[in-house]
Chain A
Amino acid sequence: MLHDGLAAGAATSAGVATGALPSHRSRSILPIRNVQSSSTAVTGRFEESPLSVQLSLSVNGRAVTATVDARTLLVEFLRNELALTGTHVGCDTGQCGACTVLLDGRAVKACNMLAAQANGAKVMTIEGLAAADGTLHPMQAAFKECHGLQCGFCTPGMVMSAVDLVERHPKADEKTIREQLEGNLCRCTGYQNIVHAVQQGAAAMAK
């Protein structure tokens, strides 16, 4: 049941340590001073926090700079400040994987790391996966074709995990896929069609 990418300290694998977050605050909407992306500028609504930090990172290929409260989680930053609500929050203990995004190409749980830890990194969310013309990424297309989703809530995290999984294990068999998806919970599908989708997506990505 070991999982080499996600379940055990995703942030650690990305080269940064998970801070000791008070668990009861792990989903707070935290004050933010100022966010600027290449196309939008949002003026902060709250007073400057003594703990604010400056960030500059790339999100789905666009440069973003922002000043945020140091405690802001990456998932909060993406959802609340960049309005990228495709990344979901399904738990407060880092175990459901609904928040999975790619950080410098590796799957991480965005609820399990601070936005500050993504400073300088390239973040890819589900919104950035399809081509600019709307053509689905092969993994997205495979999930549709194989009915790998029902309510869709786990889906963005599942797809991002799957993309990372295939990068690491291009020829994964069913057993490996099941083990590798251990960090992503789905309550709807029973996982079977997700496994099919990953297999089909892997084949399409290899082309």
Chain B
Amino acid sequence: MGANDQSLIGQSVRRKEDVRFLTGVGQYTDDVVHPHQTYAYFLRSPHAHAKIRNIDTAKAKAAPGVVGVFTGADLDGVNGLPCGWLITGTDGKPMNEPPHPVLAQGKVRHVGDQVALVVADSVLQAKDAAESIDVDYEVLPSVVSCVDALKAGAPQIHEQAPGNKCYTWALGDKGAVDAAFAKAAHVTKLDIVNNRLIPNAIEPRAAVASYSRADDSYTLYVANQHPHVERLLMTAFVLGLPESKLRVIAPDVGGGFGSKIFLYAEETALVWASKRVNRPIKWAAERSESFLTDAHGRDHVTHAELALDKDGKFLAMRVQSTVNMGAYLSTFASSVPTILYATLLAGQYTTPAIHAEVTASFTNTAPVDAYRGAGRPEATFVVERLVHQAGVDMKMAQDEIRRRNFIRTFPYATPVALTYDTGNYDATLDEAMKMADVAGFAARKAEAAKRGKLRGLGYSTYIEACGLAPSNVAGALGARAGLYEAGQVRVNPTGSVTVFTGSHSHGQGHETTFAQVVAGRLGIDIGNVEVIHGDTGRIPFGMGTYGSRSLAVGGTAIVKALDKVIAKGKKIAAHLLEAAEADIEFADGKFTVAGTDRSKAFAEISLAAYVPHNYPLGTLEPGLEETAFYDPTNFTYPAGSHICEVEIDPETGVVEVVAFTACDDFGNVINPMIVEGQVHGGVAQGIGQALLERCVYDAETGQLLTGSYMDYAMPRADDLPSFKVGTKVTPCTHNPLGAKGCGEAGAIGAPAAMMNAVHDALLASGVTRIDMPASPHRVWAALQAARA
């Protein structure tokens, strides 16, 4: 790294994107206005499970302002929505992959399933017309629990999935695990529910589709995290169009957290219909629709066991999970509770044998897919709850039982398919314990007890696999796509730089972080770097943003493109300075002949490249623009220690998070301010899961009971404390930035830390099990039951 790197890398540069958001001139999808645009409204199923005997749209078609009414029967030649990851079951067969229609075909399978699309001059007219559509439903029994769905006699949701099973999949050496359990001194067992969550980005999903007769092409604005993948899936798999006929623009996007990765029916129907009505169509989800139809997260029911020797060394782990896919397979649904889950069950520990078996079922609920952390929070929750309970069972301090089992030699191959490249788990634990003042906890607990309150301390020493992903590894595991990233660096004639990235920012601040990387490497002013993302019409084919991959994978692609730019710059400089190319050095924005003061500024080189009057035209093309694709050689492994302190009022059951500390190792950090912000947000979502949030469907009717902000408890400012956040660094060994990723860590580590604190606080009262969320009612009832 050159000298200028130091001036930008590691600096909390204030964000370039902020002014437009702070002055109200950001452009989110719902802000896009096309002349002559129409508005879409989706008529949705009020039933969890029903046959559609007939749909009568005659009245709706004749209603004022209506320009089109479409049902499943109209979608000739339109395929179902694809699933991007093939899981092969323990029976050697591919998972059951029932069709996922864009508009219902003869049956609806969850409340909110889309039945008809009405397009009209105004939303009101579209809604009025939709109300006049007569759907003759034959209501069927429904099932919402992933466990109940697998029971004999459960309502059958798809013909193609007998017994509602998607797959049973396993990872690990079962024989070795059984043998280790047979000789264990102690076995800790837990039953765990990982509560179902609704992502709730504050910007609801939205799309605006338009069709151009001039060149038979489409443009789609959509609140989405990876426009190229959206385009590929929609054109190649569903609509049967060449990709080149669809431009997908994901403009400013108001948060994603996974829920905007997926290809949804609504935007697909809009694109299709925009040609039929030959006018632009806008749709913005109402929050109620988001609750009903955004892909949900988590929803696991697990039995887990940990075998230990007499000294507290972990010998083996056995995990059995039943997981909910919802009514249809969403884009990456199948990979989340398998590839992104069971592979993380080693945690930070040397557990030599691990076996996990996962059964996925279909239910009459919204599809379930990746939500911040995606599989890794579920794995961490299993591991860290088990470790906590083992510490309690064996009367060992919580830090001690962890330290006895930490991995300390790298690279380390786990028994569940991953190889950790680097880490220092003692360092993050030591630091977190200092930051959390663990030494003073006993005194704080005693003081709380005087006030009649129960204090508890909980740890979570988590790991995640990020920087998705080596394409060949992912392919071998069933991915139907590559997972590289693309970056393009266009040096403009006077030396300003436009960077085109396949990564997508929906809050992560790429316009700033990536500009820091580029300005640092080129030794130019950060104000001269513009980062462009989110538009298939402008950026190279890229895989988008999820899995904490943007800097580690997308940033590396940019660095590789920069390397090419600098290499070409050296050739130009060698010509202009009449020196050998090998003698040209690049630093601080200058190309210099080594050992001399003869140099050319970066902008002089770029100008020469575009005004090649004195230029080696015979051997070198003019212009200064390079593209690179980067496919990582391994996952990255961010890890850290989270420590949560809670205080419980036994009279009311109210749990207060009084302190939360996170010390994380994200590898090298480009912008500490942005990284801290990511941790804050992730921790808030993790505490949200542990303390407040829970998606509930009525078991009888399949109605969503938590369908608004009045029923679904989002974390609000006064539910949370200020968090203490720190970092320790072991640079990633296999990308040039040494970066690991930070976007999901908070959501991964926090739930276990908090629930361990809750269990610690309640231990003396005899309470052994509280499921998430630790609501006052649950805690109070458990205390009452323990007293009785």
Contact = CB atoms under 8 A, between A and B. Distances in A.
Given A1-B718, A30-B122, A87-B24, A153 B127 contact: no
Contact of A182 (B18, B20, B26, B718): B718
A179 B122 contact: no
B677 A189 contact: yes
B763 to A, nearest CB: 28
Contacts of B214: none
A152 B252 contact: yes
Given A96-B709, A152-B21, A194-B717, A144 B14 contact: yes
Contacts of B127: 24-25, 28
Interface string A43-72: 001100000000000000000000000000
B39 to A, nearest CB: 6
Contacts of A129: 23
Contacts, number: 200
B72 interface: no
Given A29-B39, A143-B18, A150 B509 contact: yes
Contacts of B24: 84-87, 125-127, 156
B410 to A, nearest CB: 31
A185 B122 CA distance: 28
B204 A90 contact: yes
B31 A29 contact: no
A46 B122 contact: yes
B779 interface: no
A77 B419 CA distance: 56
Given A84-B24, A182-B718, A192 B680 contact: yes
B15 interface: yes
A193 interface: yes
B254 A152 contact: yes
Given A140-B23, A153-B203, A189 B710 contact: no
A145 interface: yes
Interface stretch (B144-152, B283-291, B753-761): B283-291
B257 interface: yes
A205 interface: no
Nearest to B26: A152
B264 to A, nearest CB: 18
Interface stretch (B400-408, B478-486, B681-689): B681-689
Given A85-B24, A153-B28, A187 B201 contact: yes
Q: Which has the most chain A C-beta neighbours within 10 Å: B14, B23, B674, B746?
A: B23
B720 interface: yes
Given A31-B124, A85-B31, A151-B254, A189 B287 contact: no
Nearest to A145: B14
Given A85-B24, A86-B25, A149-B22, A193 B677 contact: yes
Contact of A127 (B12, B25, B255): B25
A185 B124 contact: no
Interface string B701-730: 000000011100011111010110000000
A27 B40 CA distance: 13
Contacts of B717: 177-179, 181-182, 184, 186, 191, 194-195
A181 B717 CA distance: 6
Interface residues of A, number: 65
Nearest to A94: B709
Interface residues of B, number: 64
A193 B717 CA distance: 11
Contact of B18 (A87, A144, A153): A144
Contacts of B287: 90-93, 96
B722 A151 contact: no
B123 interface: yes
A155 interface: yes
B508 interface: yes
Contacts of A154: 202, 254
Interface in A111-158: 125-127, 129-130, 136, 140, 143-145, 147, 149-156
A174 interface: yes
Contacts of B684: 189-191
Contacts of B15: 144, 147
Given A95-B709, A153-B28, A174-B722, A90 B681 contact: no
Interface in B36-87: 39
B22 A140 contact: yes
Interface in B104-135: 121-124, 127
A31 B122 CA distance: 8
B443 interface: no
Contacts of B508: 150
B776 interface: no
B722 A93 contact: no
A190 B723 contact: yes
B163 to A, nearest CB: 37
A5 B169 CA distance: 53
A189 B722 contact: no
Given A93-B287, A153-B202, A29 B124 contact: yes
A151 B673 contact: no
Nearest to B64: A47
B509 to A, nearest CB: 7
B39 A93 contact: no
B352 interface: no
A156 B22 CA distance: 6
A15 B33 CA distance: 34
A26 to B, nearest CB: 8
Contacts of A151: 201-203, 252-255, 506-507
Contacts of A189: 677, 680-681, 684
Interface string B6-20: 000000101101111
A45 B38 CA distance: 12
A95 B28 CA distance: 20
Interface in B633-673: 673
A46 B121 CA distance: 9
Contact of B23 (A1, A27, A86, A181): A86
A130 B19 CA distance: 10
A185 B709 contact: yes
B30 interface: yes
A150 B677 contact: yes
A187 B23 contact: no
A33 interface: no
B19 A144 contact: yes
A29 B723 contact: no
Nearest to B201: A187
B200 interface: yes
Q: Which has the most chain A C-beta neighbours within 10 Å: B20, B204, B509, B720?
A: B204
Interface in A89-110: 89-93, 95-96, 98
Given A85-B31, A126-B23, A91 B723 contact: no
A11 interface: no
A17 interface: no
B284 A27 contact: yes
Nearest to A137: B22
Given A46-B121, A152-B507, 16 more contacts: A28-B127, A31-B122, A83-B33, A85-B27, A85-B31, A88-B203, A93-B710, A130-B23, A147-B12, A147-B677, A151-B254, A152-B21, A152-B22, A181-B716, A190-B681, A190-B723
20 contacts: A25-B127, A28-B122, A29-B124, A83-B33, A85-B24, A85-B28, A96-B202, A125-B24, A147-B14, A151-B252, A178-B717, A179-B718, A182-B718, A188-B202, A188-B507, A189-B680, A190-B684, A190-B723, A191-B716, A191-B717
Sorted nearest first, the 8 A-B pairs with minimum C-beta distance are: A86-B24, A153-B254, A152-B21, A190-B684, A151-B507, A190-B680, A150-B507, A126-B24
Interface of A: 1, 24-31, 45-46, 79, 83-93, 95-96, 98, 125-127, 129-130, 136, 140, 143-145, 147, 149-156, 159, 174-175, 177-179, 181-182, 184-195
Interface of B: 12, 14-15, 17-28, 30-31, 33, 39, 121-124, 127, 200-204, 252-255, 257, 284, 286-288, 506-509, 673-674, 676-677, 680-685, 708-710, 714-718, 720, 722-723, 746
